[in-house]
């Protein structure tokens, strides 16, 4: 089974948790896209749900698949958010934002009773950090923000190169990547993040950092698809801890 088939399997398993009448957060990325497509098939067959997309790309996918959409201004909570991740550790802390959607993804996940992470099992790691950590920043004062981030890294026992993300493909190739919110992303190659909750807190305190890709205490479960089958890992601590 190839990687794409594994992603679709994880998405299909998460879809089993969806019930009639649910309000859903719809994640972003290649795995979440499978979920939106499968959900669209169920909606066509009569399932009644409504979704809040975490990016413009997902909004377009959901519309194409016939999934009814709303916003967090129109409804006050979500039952489940289903989203992919770039890395997942045994505490179900995540690195997200490889596709640049981390800000909306975090807002939507935080507004949800449960977050189910769907992934192929290559995303499962003992320690976060091999995947570059995305940090969404305001372009104004970037030099000062970078210095503050480096200081936070040193205080949290990590270090590594940071680079402004460039767009890939199309006529934007080589230009700075701009998020749906109009911000830039710094990708930090940290290798090993010894204390993700501490680093998350330190980064959140920096003016100029809009959001970062560490999702701490947000995921309720992870559905991992691999050659051996599907594993579902439940978070031990309550949401928010
Ligand atoms: O910004 C993008 C998201 O955080 C994605 O959920 C993450 O990058 C995983 O994407 P994929 O399912 O394509 O590996």
Digit-coded pLDDT (tens) for 169-202: 777 778 999 999 999 999 999 999 999 999 999 9
Pocket test for ligand 1, best of 29, 187, 212 (most atoms within 8 A of CB): 29
What average pLDDT does the segment 46-58 reach? 98
- CB-based burial of residue 22 (10 Å sphere; 0-12 exposed, 13-18 middle, 19+ buried)? middle
Structure tokens at 70: 């709303």
The one catalytic residue among 105, 136, 150, 234: 105
pLDDT band at 238 (very low <50, low <70, confident <90, very high): low
The fold adopted by the segment(s) 3-124+217-234 is Rossmann fold (3.40.50)
Catalytic, 105? Answer yes
Output the pLDDT for position 124: 98
Q: Where in the chain is the domain with CATH 3.40.50.1360?
A: 3-124+217-234
Does the CB atom of residue 85 touch ligand 1 within 6 A?
yes
129 in ligand 1 pocket by Cβ < 6 Å? Answer: no
Pick the residue whose CA is nearest to atom 12 on ligand 1. Answer: 31
pTM > 0.80:
yes
E strand segments, 72-171: 78-83, 87-88, 94-95, 112-120, 133-137, 162-164
Q: How far is CA 220 from CA 65, 94, 112, 115, 116, in A?
A: 26, 11, 10, 5, 6
> Is the interface score ipTM higher than 0.95?
yes
Check whether 240 has a pLDDT greater than 70.
Answer: no
**CATH class of the domain whose range is 133-209:** alpha beta
What does each C-alpha distance from 118 to 84, 101, 221 come to in angstroms?
A: 5, 16, 9
Residues 114 and 108: their CA atoms lie apart, in Å, by 11
Two tokens at 37? 């497509």
Residues 6+ apart with CB under 8 A from 159: 150, 153, 190
DSSP 177: P
> Mean pLDDT, to the nearest integer, of 217-228?
97
pLDDT computed for residue 71 by the predictor: 98
Residues of the chain with CATH 3.30.70.260: 133-209
pLDDT at 31 over 90: yes
Q: In the 8-state DSSP scheme, what is residue 56?
A: H
């Amino acid at each position: 089974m190839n990687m794409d088939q594994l992603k679709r399997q994880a998405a299909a398993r998460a879809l089993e948790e969806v019930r009639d009448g649910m309000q859903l957060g719809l994640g972003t990325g290649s795995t979440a896209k499978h979920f939106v497509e499968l959900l669209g098939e169920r909606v066509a067959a009569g399932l009644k749900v409504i979704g809040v997309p975490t990016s413009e790309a997902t909004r377009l996918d959901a519309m194409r698949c016939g999934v009814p959409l709303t916003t967090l201004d129109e409804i006050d909570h979500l039952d489940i958010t289903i989203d992919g991740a770039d890395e997942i550790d045994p505490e179900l802390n995540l690195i997200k934002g490889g596709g640049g959607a981390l800000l909306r993804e975090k807002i939507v996940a935080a507004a949800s009773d449960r977050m189910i992470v769907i992934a192929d099992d290559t995303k499962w790691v003992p320690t976060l950090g091999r995947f570059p950590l995305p940090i969404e920043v305001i372009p104004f004062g970037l030099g000062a923000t970078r210095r503050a981030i480096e200081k936070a890294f040193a205080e949290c026992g990590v270090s590594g190169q940071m680079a402004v993300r460039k767009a890939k493909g199309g006529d934007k190739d080589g230009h700075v990547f701009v998020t749906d919110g109009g911000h830039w992303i710094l990708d930090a190659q940290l290798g090993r993040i010894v204390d993700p909750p501490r680093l998350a807190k330190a980064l959140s305190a920096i003016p100029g950092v809009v959001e970062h890709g560490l999702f701490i205490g947000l995921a309720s479960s992870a559905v991992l698809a691999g050659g051996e089958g599907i594993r579902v890992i439940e978070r031990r601590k309550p949401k928010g801890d």
